[in-house]
Every structure is written in structure tokens, then in C-alpha cells.
Chain A
Amino acid sequence: MLEVAGIYLIIGVMAVIIFYPLAWAIGLSFSAGTSVYSSSMFPKEPTLEHYRWLFTSPDSNYLTWYRNTLYVSTLNSLLSVVFTSMTAYALSRFDFVGRRSGMYAFLLLQMFPVMMAMVALYIFLNLIGLLNTLIGLVLIYVGGQIPFNAWLVKGYMDTISRELDDAAKIDGAGPIRLFIRILLPLITPILAIVALTNFMLPIFDFILPSIILHDKSKYTLAVGLYQFVNERYAGNFTVFAAGAILIAVPIAAVYLFLQKYLISGLAAGGTKG
């Protein structure tokens, strides 16, 4: 009995450690005034002024950043699925010269951290005139994810029996129809994971957008909020807290809702993969 109480106590302590910073930020976001010094975790007169400021003030770029982020995320998610599934289809179902060396190249390439390529990406985007554009950012995300995700989807496609392919071929289906009618419905689960991770990536990523995007009107949320806080550190913090909560809530909701699938997917990929 004492033991069970001990376990609950540990869990309780963990819960406090988890909730404290979050509650502090939430409290600040409802505090009046912009200074952290005068605000507290339990504001005496809670106010929505910071939330209102984010959406209505002409000085606020918050909605633009939100829109930019959604734009980059959606485009990245869509294009990644298209390019990845095409490449994976070729690797999984066709035997062609260069297939194996291509796959080993993928394996090697996806190990390098993006940071290594920063300077070159900067110069390259500058050269083709896509520096400081959202399209340039999407382009880099999409190209960069191909090696890893092509392996992921190819591995999944390999588990689908080729007897289905043969049957479809006997019925006269060409390679495009075979893919769209037979394989695509069967690989939707893995494509959903590719779509989700590539949707989330631009929301979480800080470094690439901070290198590529220079105008305030082009920022994504991560860069925008960081610059916003850095400009006048203590001064902007309550507004920052409000903005941060509006990002964290929808994403946390999605994650908690999908936790079962994410975990089982990860466990399967990690243990058997």
C-alpha cells in the first residue's frame, strides 16, 4: 500500500514539473501589461488583451506568420507525398540499372545533418532567386526528405504481395494504373505518416527558415516568435506567451489524439524496422 502511494507521489511530482512551466506561460498570457516583472502566474485581473492584440493590431504579423506556416506545411506535405511515392514505387517494383546504387546513396545521404549544407543552400537559393521566398523553403524541405521517406515507403511497399501486381497486369493495367488503382490504396497508412511528419516539420523547424527568410512578412511562426521576443525581451513576453499558446494548443490536441497511432507506428518501425 505504501508502495502504491509512493508511485502516485512520484507521478504527482512529475505532473507538477510538467505543468508548472505551461501554467506559468498561460498565466502570463492573461496578465495585464507587457512586462514580465509586473505579471504573475495567477493574474488578479485576467485579460484577453494580448490575444486581441495578436489578431487586431496593425503592428502584429501573427496572422501572416500563421498563414505562411500553414502554406509551407501544406505544400511540403503534398509535394513530399507525391515525390516520395513516385520514387518509392520505382525502387520497390522495378528492376533497373542504378537501382541498388541509388538506394545506397539514399541511405548515406539521409545521415548528413542539414546544417552541413547551410551555406551552400543559401548561395544556391540566392543564385536561382528563391532566397527569402516560401517556395525556396518548401523546395529544400521536399528535396531533403526524399532519401529517408523513400526508404520508409519502399519498405512498406515491399511487404505488399506482388501477386496483386501480376493479376492487374494480366487484366491489362499499365504501370500508372497499377499504381493508382492497386498500390496507392494499400500504402495509404505509410503515406499518411509521411504527410503528417512533413506537415509538422515546418511548424517545429527554426533553423532553415531563420537562414532563408529575411522579411518579417515572410517569417514562419517559429522564426517570427523568436525575433518578436528577442527584439524587446522582457517587454514582449506576455504577448509572446499568448501567441505561443495559440500554436501549442492545436498541435498538442492533434498529437494527443493521434498518440496511439504515432507510438505504435514508431514502435513497429523501431523494433522490427
Chain B
Amino acid sequence: MELHIDRATRTTAHKPWLAVMLSVLFAGLGQLYNRSYIKGIVLILLELAFIVTFKDFIGLGLWGIATLGTIPKVDHSIFLLVYGLLSLIMLAIAALIYILNIRDAKIQAERIASGWQRPKLSEAMKQAYMASFPYLLSVPGFIMLIFVVIFPLMFAISLAFTNYDLYHSPPRNLVDWVGFDNFVNLVTVPIWNQSFLNVLSWTLVWTVVSTTLQIALGLFLAVLVNDKRIRFKRLIRTILILPWAIPSFVTIMIFSALFNDQFGAINRNILSALQIAPIPWLTDPLYTKIALISIQVWLGFPFLFALFTGVLQSTSQDIYEAAEVDGATRWQKFRHITLPHVLFATAPLLIIQYTSNFNNFNIIYLFNGGGPAVRGQTAGGTDILISWVYKLTFTTNNYNMAAAISLIIGVIVIAFAFIQFRRTRSFREERDQ
């Protein structure tokens, strides 16, 4: 009798809150209370191993990221910052595992309390394998992602709030946290705000003009070649797609020589044949800008031409016939049928075109290195934000300013990308679930 009651109360008296408390106290204790001995021991060992192995490193890292070092020539601020960020990442992962451990203890305890039968060991192992399989699959990719994307981003964001530049560069000097000073300097200090304003406005002009022109030319040619009366369509399309098929760094370098002030064929052969004086393509900012935009249109229109051709070919002809019956002119048909249809169908890709030109480092850097140089400024006459960041980082070592500017770039790009990805299918499906 005594024994019987004891057994009955043991299942109902199993208290989930106690399991949770125990697991909060130390990972694995709740599992032991739940009588999942293997799981409990593994978790306890994991936590012990984590504490023993990383205690010193995390301690140093947290101290480092808070102070960025206190003694010049001994403390290396940047390494301390790196250790600090790595410590934060490790703590976040540990916290995640800890929360999962508490959750697991709670669910298991609730099951036991409601009279659940423990499966055999082999069965339990199989269940554990199935439950952990998705983690096993994603862990390798996730680890790479942490080191290659997440950690560098955290580092870049941190730098934007420090004074890490040529005069504050470890090991000789310490780096300090300076809050929003870099952003304030960017818009108030004369040597910065003039460059910033020039570069930002040229970046916007460059993005809007070059991208819009390449879209317009691509659409114009796609509509022309799509005309029923045109023959040899395949050949024409192959020719027009050619610039897309050639690696762009090759063509940009060819153009750079072609436009060269002294020996370039444009000045030497074409303009001299037309009796026009040589134009300073690479030494006058205005001409460099014109050249850059023309080259980008040359490089960029074929992709859009191909894209629009694909859309036009899959468009039903019925609506055009209906419009003809109503007596629509050709312009009206283009304006009210073709244009909205094509632009709507390709909108996400068009937005990508704008964002990729916004960050089109290759063409700016390879064509003329962002030059010609402007007296008294850190940015060249045709530098866009991203190539300015490159210069600030690798030429003048203004790491803090480079980081602050790239943070601004990041915010702008995310705003654009967000508009685009709200439209994508997989995102919508995820939201509707």
C-alpha cells in the first residue's frame, strides 16, 4: 500500500519548475532530475569544459572590449577588440545552448509529470539523432558564416566608434572608444564634410544616371530587336549580349587604355580623325565622369537587354491585338502595355542593378583609381563611397572614418534591399506560415 502510493505520487509529484530551476543553476542538473542521465552528464561536462577552457579568454576579452587596453605598447587595442568580439560571440552561443537546455528540461519534466513512458535507450538515441540532425547539418556553414561575415561586420561596426587611425595605431598607441564623434566629424569638420558631400553627391548621380541609362538602352534595343520585321534575331542578340560575356575587369582595363590621354585610341585615332582636340579623359574630373558612365552603360546594358528580351518573348500578343482594334498608336502601346508590364515583371532585378552600381568598386578603381586626385582632399574626383572607403583604409589608414562611412553605406543598401526582398516569394511564404 505504502509503496503503491509512493509510486503514484512520484509521477504526479515530478515538478517541472524544479527541473527548470536545476537547469538554470547548472546545465544538466534538470536532466539528471528528469533521469535522463546520459544527456545530463554530457551537458554538465560541456558546461565545465566551457568554463575551464574559455574563462580566462572571455575574461580578457570582456575587459579588453570595455577598455581597449590601458597601457600603451603593452596592450594591443585592436587585438583586444577582436578578443572581446570573439568572447561576445562565444557567450552568445553558450547562452543559446543554455536556453535550449532549460527548455529541454522543462518539456521533459512536463511530459514525465503527465505520465509519459520512457522509451528504451536505443529508441531514445534514435530520437536524439533525429532532433539534432538539422543542427549537425547547419553547424559547419554557420561556423564559417560567423567568422567570415558576422564577426567582420561586428568589427567594422565597432571601429566606426573608435579613433583607430594612423596616429592611434597599436602597438605604439592605444585606441579609444569615441562614441559618435566620427559621424559628427564627417559632417562638421571641413576636411571631411567637403569630401563627404562631394563623394556622396557623385555616388548618387553615378548610381542613378548610369543605371537608368543602361536600363533605358537595354529596353530600347530589346523592343527594337523584338520587332516582327527584323531578321537574323539570334545573331543580333548574340552580338548585343557580348559585353556581358566578357569579364568586366578585362574590359574596364581595355577602356582605361583606350581613353588614355596620351596614347589612347579615342584621342589618337577617333578624335584626331574628326579634327577635334584631344580631351583630358583621365585628368579632368568631368570628362572622367562622362567616360565612366559611358563605359558602365556599355558594360551593363546587355544583361538588361537579355532580361527584357526574355520577358517580351513570353508576353501574350492578345492584348496588343486588342489595342490595335481600339486604334492605339505604337507609342501608346509601348507606354501603356509594354512598359508597365516589363518594369513590373523585372522590378526586383532592376533594384539590384541600382544597388550594385552604388557599390561598383571595380569600374571606379580599375578605370582611373578614383582619380584624378583633388588637392587637399582624401577622395579623388570620381571616387564613390565604396572606393573612398578603400582608399581611407589602405592608403591613408583612417580606419575609423572608413568604418563610419561603410556603416552609412550599409544602412543605405539595407534600405534598398529591404524594399526588394519584401517582394520575394520565399520571404512571403515564410511570413504567411
Which A residues lie at the B interface, using CB under 8 A? 4, 7-8, 10-11, 14-15, 17-19, 21-22, 24-25, 36-37, 41, 83-84, 86-87, 89-91, 93-94, 96-100, 102-103, 107-109, 111-113, 115-121, 123-124, 127, 139-140, 142-144, 146-147, 150-151, 154-155, 158, 175, 203-204, 206-207, 211, 222, 225-226, 229, 234, 237, 240-241, 244, 247-248, 251-252, 255-256, 259, 262-264, 266-267, 270-273
* B331 interfacial by beta-carbon distance below 8 Å: no
Residue of B with least CB distance to A39: B263
9 A-B contacts (beta carbon < 8 Å): A11-B221, A24-B265, A90-B138, A113-B413, A124-B151, A144-B148, A144-B149, A158-B429, A270-B349
Chain B, residues 413-433, CB within 8 Å of chain A (1/0): the string is 110011001001111011000
Q: Is the Cβ of A244 less than 8 Å from the Cβ of B253?
A: yes
Nearest A residue to B126, CB-CB: A174
Binary CB contact string for chain B from 183 to 217 against chain A (1 if under 8 A, 0 otherwise): 00000000000000000000000000000000000
CB distance from A170 to the nearest CB of B (A): 15
Known: A18-B243, A240-B253. A103 touches B224 (CB 8 A): no
Contact B141 A24 (CB under 8 A): no
- CB pair B138–A18 under 8 Å, yes or no, is no
User: Chain B: which residue is nearest A115 at the CB level?
Assistant: B386
Asked whether B240 lies within 8 Å of A117 as measured between CB atoms, the reply is no
CA distance A215 to B240 in the complex (A): 38
Once the chains bind, are B240 and A14 in contact (CB under 8 Å)? yes
Asked if B274 is at the interface of the complex by the 8 Å CB criterion, the answer is no
Beyond contacts A11-B225, A124-B151, A143-B145: 8 other A-B pairs, Cβ-Cβ < 8 A, are A7-B225, A22-B242, A87-B138, A143-B148, A146-B145, A229-B253, A234-B262, A252-B246
> In the complex the two chains form, what is the Cα distance from A142 to B142 in whole Å?
11
Residue of A nearest to B236 (CB): A11
A117-B410 Cα distance, complex, nearest whole Å: 11
A-B CB proximity, top 6 nearest: A143-B148, A117-B152, A120-B152, A120-B155, A255-B245, A94-B134
Task: Tell me how many residues of B have a C-beta within 8 Å of chain A.
Answer: 99
Is B82's CB under 8 angstroms from A146's CB?
no
Q: With A143-B147, A247-B250, A251-B246 as given contacts, are A124 and B430 in contact (CB-CB < 8 Å)?
A: no
B248 within 8 A of A: yes
| Identity of the chain B residue whose Cβ is nearest the Cβ of A151 in the assembled complex | B426
B153 x A112 contact (CB < 8 A): yes
Q: Which single member of A117, A206, A252 contacts B155 (CB below 8 Å)?
A: A117
Choose one: B224, B257, B258; the contact of A7 (CB below 8 Å).
B224
A17 and B414: CB pair below 8 A? no
Structural contact, B393 and A119, CB atoms closer than 8 A: yes
Q: Could you tell me if B263 and A244 are in contact, using CB atoms closer than 8 angstroms? A: no
Q: If A86-B140, A119-B155 touch, does A267 touch B311 (CB 8 Å cutoff)? A: yes
Q: Which residues of B contact A116 (CB under 8 A)?
A: 152-153, 156, 406-407, 409-410
* Across-interface contacts of B424 in A (CB, < 8 A): 273
Q: A140-B148, A175-B130, A244-B254 are in contact. Are A87 and B413 (CB under 8 A)?
A: no
Which chain B positions have C-beta within 8 A of A204? Answer: 247-249
Q: Which residues of A contact B365 (CB under 8 A)?
A: 206-207
A115 touches B151 (CB 8 A): no
